[in-house]
Amino acid sequence: MGRFDGSVALVTGASRGIGLGIAQRLVDEGARVCVTARNPDALDAAVAQLGGPEHAMAVAGKADDLGHQRDTVARIVEAFGSLDLLVNNAGINPAYGPLMRLDLEAARKIVEVNCIAALAWVQQGYAAWLGEHGGAIVNVASIAGLKPAPGIAFYGASKAMLVHLTQELAVELGPTIRVNAVAPAVVKTAFATALYEGREEQVAATYPLKRLGEPQDVAGAVAYLLSSDAAWVTGQTIVIDGGLTMTGGV
């Protein structure tokens, strides 16, 4: 028996990397999972990796598209019969450099995908199932949202907003829906490649645990927060960083 037997989960931004790692962990523990992302081919591969249609389904679309959100949630409930768990993992960071040179259209898009879309997914899930039946939500933030992060400052600001949004949702949606977040440091994914490619050993040396994160490191914490093991935990952000923030790093 798995912790999530009989549960249905939605994981956004889950065709690869952290999102796929989370989806895999939930499937391994008994859940049926819907994964979303923009690339249909990558999603098909993800569903196959997760065990096929018996265990997973996919809906392709942009994370910040309201029509996609509504359609996805409706299809999940129709196919699997419920929507008990939601993981807001989709995120973007199309800008690197000082804030004084930040393109404001890029800034707006970052907030749209990283923050407003997360709230929208919660609203859709709440209306379709969670509001009446309860459940659990986890938002994937970043340690960049906990302290200044030069070079990715606005991305960090958006993640700080997501952390605060997590707290606000936890207050509003309790007691039947728990809302928490995780804040990873650098995890070895395609999304974070620019932060360590060609210098992984050097970057890892700044971490007390002397390695970068892997998707399963985040997946384990997310699974805990979604499970009944965390039944008295809400509004919290778990830092998953190999000890980096204790050394003053981001």
Angle between the 215-226 and 17-28 helix axes, to the nearest 10 degrees?
Answer: 50
Q: Which residues contact 25 (CB under 8 A, 6 or more apart)?
A: 216, 219, 220, 222, 223
> How many CB atoms are closer than 10 A to CB 30?
14
DSSP-derived letter for residue 126 is: I
End-to-end CA distance of the chain: 39
Query: CA 187 to CA 62: how far, in whole Å?
Result: 23
Enzyme catalytic residues: 155
Sheet holding 56-60, edge to edge: 56-60, 32-37, 8-11, 85-88, 135-140, 177-184, 237-240
- What tokens were used for 114? 């990283």
- What tokens were used for 96? 């690197």
Query: CA 205 to CA 73: how far, in whole Å?
Result: 42
